[in-house]
Structure 1
């Protein structure tokens, strides 16, 4: 059972005051907190699969894009967010969001065409772009995420026909911004005007049913929509559902990529995902994760109440602004000395020239609420005390 906010904060402060050794607290990994529903669901799924006469086929080999059962289940899951029934032939099942992005970057643009995205974006996107020899063009953000004016300017001024725009409209990683319905419609209008496709990463969408409908619901014919299960179910569940704009788009991508099996979904994982989605385990686990994150946000607001940060209720991370004269590197190093690991804004910047003094704190990654409060309390102390003065050159720093 979790302890109360006040008790957690009191214990953390006591440890600091008594100079007890503190275990390192890692805020860098955006992973869901462990759920008892997942543990019980895994036992049930494995027992059920073991009783099936075809269980041995789950290790026979992978199928490009998943089986018809996998795609039907994916279509049912995605319909919860999109708001209408989905043709399963538009679904491509992959072994995670990163594989889906590799597929799209390899097949839906050219090396001489930049992919538009947020100036601060999913940290792995730069690596995927590098592997696929695609250049990213980072655009300005505001309180709702990607700025349509910046998108319009980039499209108008580009010397080549841009083909793809990648965005994360719901609980943006790393800033936590969520686009309004009006903002999503503006992006759709720009995409139609300039004949581009939108890649919508909705990795946290199931955790935020209160968010506006996805862009894929507003413009299914021009949106490649991705929903992975690593955030809303379990970090080890390497399954993602890629919804193509049309059946022809899905079939065309599959035909071009059948020879490369590295992205194929693992049959055992896919079968477990199917059972969890069908028997309600997935929905129960997602609800449990959301409840836990709601509680962790309460703790964060309590500990960091004197400091400037943004975060949406239930989101896995917050975006903490660093006051002057802290730099990202100075704060990261000072936090490490206090046994706290953080991820700074520059890790998410598309271009090295773009920087802001801020850190993303993944509230989901500490194993329990007491560890969370302990780490946040140490960070709050750093912010309260301010950056230590640097010794003058030649002066004894002791």
Structure 2
């Protein structure tokens, strides 16, 4: 009979049991198909309440570690996983997408017009061959123009072209850190950062944010970051200073300076990811400008005009220039110079500005609708933010809301996608405003979100055992 070792556990017992189960599966103590002890018997063996075991098994099932079967018990799940709701699907016309953050793709510049313009470019055939791993100079200079909108006067010799921002994050972290290093991240952060760090042997350490007077989330707490540097030996920090995903918070100048101070005191490298900055009306100095000696900056135009191009830019301290070139070369040799030229043309011809203007107008309307329909639930964000962070009543399970809406063909994301797996679920949903093209479907879907939360909020709160 499997008995978890939780004698030295701190925090909620149900989480300690789920964590022990995950560790034993990873270490081979438990194999797929193994049957777990009956809940009542395990509760007796551990000296805890039956409710504690029920919550532990529920948490393990939420992590897809186990599967419960009526009449048969609970088993270690087979090594198959559902496709993440973050992964685009080719054809789902009947699903209203409030989960993935595609930022009004129906307003992107005309691809056919861009390709026609490219066809007439002098020397176009050179783009059909190999180019340096960091990209052609003309395309790196396009990156300089993009970084200018991000509050950073970039040096073209320190810019490299990547296959989008996610590729940029991965090669940047490979260039700046060594396998085994610990990297600080916000408690709620960009979902893909967790597998990206893990795939290259880096450990994510969750750091809480400052809670604002209105109950919303602010920037990463600099005191907590300093403590993490001491207690976890972190070597760097991943930050989204503008329109943080998912909380929407944009750091003030003071918040940026406080985090730079901690980074310098503890010799931390900074990786700043800023895909949403162009949507904001005001540009504050980037971390790459405030602490250029220790900051790698990542920019992408995927949210602005062309996710299909898979073009991003990184700007790194001079010390890491050769390393970033090598990491790009090792991963994919080079970003496509063909799509880099497409983006360069759109930047030169002002299409980014025109596209942004249309998307900002659309987003103002969508955000105001969301606030009106979802009231009285608090939606962190504003008219310039292309998603919102919705706070649920404390006793409402965000995963239950997501599942209930899924049955109604509406996709949203609960807080668990934005935090480390061993953290307790939190009552938040991210709602995106621009992935759904139809204004009417967007409005009706928000009304269903509101009605679903209302229904779950009216259910009696389950008693929660002390364990």
Which interval holds the TM-score relative to the shorter structure?
0.7 to 0.9
Is residue 2:301 matched to residue 1:229? yes
| Residues 216 and 223 in structure 1, CA contact (< 8 A), matched pair in contact too | yes
1:48 to 117, 120, 142: 117
Greater Cα shift, 317-326 or 221-230: 317-326
Distance, in Å, in 1 between the alignment partners of 2:459 and 2:352 is 51
Distance, in Å, in 2 between the alignment partners of 1:177 and 1:250 is 31
Distance, in Å, in 2 between the alignment partners of 1:321 and 1:32 is 22
Q: For residue 195 of structure 1, what is the aligned residue in structure 2?
A: 267
Q: For residue 6 of structure 1, what is the aligned residue in structure 2?
A: none
Q: For residue 15 of structure 2, what is the aligned residue in structure 1?
A: none
1:337 to 371, 385, 407: 407
User: How big is each residue's C-alpha offset from its partner over 1:244-270, in whole Å with a ceiling of 9 and x where there is no partner?
Assistant: 123x4223321x336425262111110
2:168 to 94, 100, 103: 100
Matches within 5 A, 1:178-327: 178-246=250-318, 248-254=319-325, 256-257=326-327, 259-262=329-332, 264-327=334-397
Q: For residue 26 of structure 2, what is the aligned residue in structure 1?
A: none
Distance, in Å, in 1 between the alignment partners of 2:129 and 2:451 is 55
Distance, in Å, in 2 between the alignment partners of 1:325 and 1:339 is 24
1:68 to 119, 137, 146: 137
1:34 to 105, 126, 132: 105
| Residues 64 and 261 in structure 1, CA contact (< 8 A), matched pair in contact too | no
Is residue 2:225 matched to residue 1:151? yes
SS of alignment partner, residue 430 of structure 2: strand
1:141 to 209, 219, 222: 209
Distance, in Å, in 2 between the alignment partners of 1:109 and 1:37 is 36
Distance, in Å, in 2 between the alignment partners of 1:263 and 1:373 is 44
2:430 to 360, 372, 377: 360
Distance, in Å, in 1 between the alignment partners of 2:158 and 2:406 is 46
Q: How far is 1:191 from its partner?
A: 1.0
Q: For residue 122 of structure 1, what is the aligned residue in structure 2?
A: 190
Q: For residue 12 of structure 1, what is the aligned residue in structure 2?
A: none
Distance, in Å, in 2 between the alignment partners of 1:339 and 1:263 is 40
Q: 1:212 to 1:258 in 2, by over 3 A?
A: closer
Structure 2: any 5+ residue segments left out of the alignment? 1-92, 211-216, 463-467
Q: 1:263 to 1:141 in 2, by over 3 A?
A: farther
Q: 1:105 to 1:345 in 2, by over 3 A?
A: same
Distance, in Å, in 2 between the alignment partners of 1:383 and 1:257 is 46
Distance, in Å, in 2 between the alignment partners of 1:121 and 1:62 is 34
Which TM-score applies when normalising by structure 2? Answer: 0.74
Q: For residue 163 of structure 1, what is the aligned residue in structure 2?
A: 235
Give aligned pairs, total: 363
Distance, in Å, in 1 between the alignment partners of 2:329 and 2:95 is 44
SS of alignment partner, residue 206 of structure 2: strand
SS of alignment partner, residue 220 of structure 1: coil
| Residues 163 and 195 in structure 1, CA contact (< 8 A), matched pair in contact too | yes
| Residues 171 and 312 in structure 1, CA contact (< 8 A), matched pair in contact too | no
Q: How far is 1:165 from its partner?
A: 0.7
Which TM-score applies when normalising by structure 1? Answer: 0.86
Distance, in Å, in 2 between the alignment partners of 1:315 and 1:92 is 28
SS of alignment partner, residue 308 of structure 2: coil
| Residues 144 and 180 in structure 1, CA contact (< 8 A), matched pair in contact too | no
Q: For residue 70 of structure 2, what is the aligned residue in structure 1?
A: none
Is residue 2:152 matched to residue 1:78? no
| Residues 94 and 264 in structure 1, CA contact (< 8 A), matched pair in contact too | yes
Distance, in Å, in 2 between the alignment partners of 1:337 and 1:221 is 50
CA-atom RMSD, angstroms? Answer: 2.1
Distance, in Å, in 1 between the alignment partners of 2:255 and 2:328 is 37
Distance, in Å, in 2 between the alignment partners of 1:389 and 1:36 is 41
Structure 1: any 5+ residue segments left out of the alignment? 1-21, 393-398
Q: Which has the higher contact order (CA 8 A, sep 6+)?
A: 1
Q: How far is 1:60 from its partner?
A: 2.1
Q: 1:212 to 1:354 in 2, by over 3 A?
A: farther
Q: How far is 1:287 from its partner?
A: 2.1
Is residue 2:421 matched to residue 1:378? no
